[in-house]
Amino acid sequence: MRVDLLGWLIFLFALLFSVMWHELGHFATAKRFGMKAIQFFVGFGPTLWSVRLGETEYGVKALPLGGFVKIIGMTSAEVVPPEDESRAFRRFPGWQRVIVLCAGSVMHFILAFFLIFGLALGVGIENDNSTQLGTVSACVPASVTALDNNSPCPAGAGKSPAGLAGLRVGDQITSFDGTKVSNYTQLTTAIKRVSAGTTVPLTVLRDGHSLTLHATLASVSGRPGGFLGIAGATIFQPASPVRAVTYAGSGFWQVLDGSVKAFGQIPAAVPDLFKSDRAHTPAGNVSSIVGVANATGQAVAAPVGWQDKVSFVLLLIASLNIFWGIFNLLPLLPLDGGHIAIVVYERIRSRIARRRRRHDPGLVDYMKVAPVMLSIFMVIVVFVVLVTVADIVNPVNIG
């Protein structure tokens, strides 16, 4: 099996698990309050297998593109047998309906937190306090785009300055152009200060011995400063349970903040989806399932250590769960947040009517909001199709 195909399969499994984990939140809370859930299925389309346990049918459908839970009486328009009306979703208090609707997103957040926690505890936390080399480029890239996309060396490309200088993977650079460096950030800053064509001395620690090498920095079109052709090795340090909790909390809020900002970039991202420099525009931060699966495949196939691969995949899946959790809470139908907004509106309207000593207007007529729901759904579908096509014909390479 191709390694990148394995990455795709890992992502698709994670996607399916995340969706079912979301539905489990709705299902468990609905059952806890006494609502009647009659179906819990993996996938969509024709049923391949199912079994009935109690009042709920569990099964698998032909298209493994998600899953669903069927709770009776979700809207005022749904016809429910008279004997089941008391257990219909719409007949329960507003606060219980809101909890059931929020439970899917909460499950995404819980999963994301524990993925980051498990990463810190089992794999370790990335430590950049090192100048050890993890990669030595084979050639000088033709442009900054080729560099960012980790493009293969074209025929006739010149050897990288690092390769010409004799640098090797595993070397630790302790001094660059007379400046001592103790972490990779300091090293890259020192490299950027030197102009292309300049020859500089490097002090390297190799197999416990110190030696001095000389490198003449190259020029890369579109990139300021000189180019050496190295990448730092990633070093992971396992964390204690307490440190893992703080790391997971910090990582969760960073991703949450980034996801909120990503929503704000969506309007600006659409015009850039098919530009050649997409990776350097807001569209580089927007991706479909195809794009994320492709990134997972690239990560699994990359010539790096297993810790780098596992770290990237777990953080990617955690980030997606946080993004999906937020997205589902947007007050737009047919998302969970849209249904939450309707429940809140019903309760506010009911309270106002009560204070005015008027008849409770009851449930919102979903048939009246159906056109709005369909319009929003179509906008979402068009956007998803656009991003998916862009990820196929103009993918973003993670490098």
Highest mean pLDDT among 88-102, 244-258, 296-310, 332-346: 88-102
Q: What CA–CA distance (Å, rounded) separates 350 from 337?
A: 20
Nearest-CA neighbor of 148 among 137, 159, 158, 156?
137
Q: What is the pLDDT of residue 111?
A: 96
Name the 3-class secondary structure at 266: helix
Other CB atoms within 10 A of residue 8 CB? 17
For the cut 50, the answer to whether the pLDDT of residue 113 exceeds it is yes
Strand 199-206 with 172-176, pairing: antiparallel
> Domains plus CATH for the chain?
133-232 (2.30.42.10)
Q: What is the pLDDT of residue 299?
A: 81
Q: What is the pLDDT of residue 77?
A: 83
For the cut 80, the answer to whether the pLDDT of residue 280 exceeds it is no
| Close Cβ partners of 68 (under 8 Å, ≥ 6 residues apart) | 23, 39, 40, 41, 44
Which has the higher per-residue pLDDT, 334 or 24? 24
Nearest-CA neighbor of 202 among 141, 139, 191, 160?
191
Which has the higher per-residue pLDDT, 253 or 362? 253
pLDDT, one tens digit per residue, over 150-194 is 677 877 788 889 989 999 888 899 999 988 988 888 888 888 888
Q: What is the pLDDT of residue 22?
A: 94
How much is the mean pLDDT over the chain?
86
The residues carrying an active-site annotation are: 23
For the cut 80, the answer to whether the pLDDT of residue 7 exceeds it is no
Q: What angle do CA 363, 367, 368 make, to 5 degrees?
A: 85
Q: What is the pLDDT of residue 362?
A: 82
pLDDT, one tens digit per residue, over 124-158 is 887 766 788 878 888 888 887 777 666 778 777 88
Q: What percent of the chain has pLDDT over 70?
A: 97
- Judged by average pLDDT, the poorest of 12-16, 20-24, 92-96, 265-269 is 265-269
Q: What is the pLDDT of residue 1?
A: 46
Section 42-46 average pLDDT: 88
Section 238-257 average pLDDT: 90
For the cut 90, the answer to whether the pLDDT of residue 287 exceeds it is no
Section 45-54 average pLDDT: 93
Q: What CA–CA distance (Å, rounded) separates 60 from 46?
A: 9
Band the pLDDT of 2: cuts 50, 70, 90.
Answer: low
Asked if 290 contacts 273 with a C-beta cutoff of 8 angstroms, the reply is: no
Q: What is the pLDDT of residue 151?
A: 72
Q: What is the pLDDT of residue 8?
A: 81
Section 293-298 average pLDDT: 84
How far does Cα 164 stand from its chain's mean position? 38
Band the pLDDT of 231: cuts 50, 70, 90.
Answer: confident
Q: What is the pLDDT of residue 337?
A: 93
pTM of this structure = 0.79
Token output for 116: 């980051």
| Close Cβ partners of 381 (under 8 Å, ≥ 6 residues apart) | none
Q: What is the pLDDT of residue 399?
A: 57
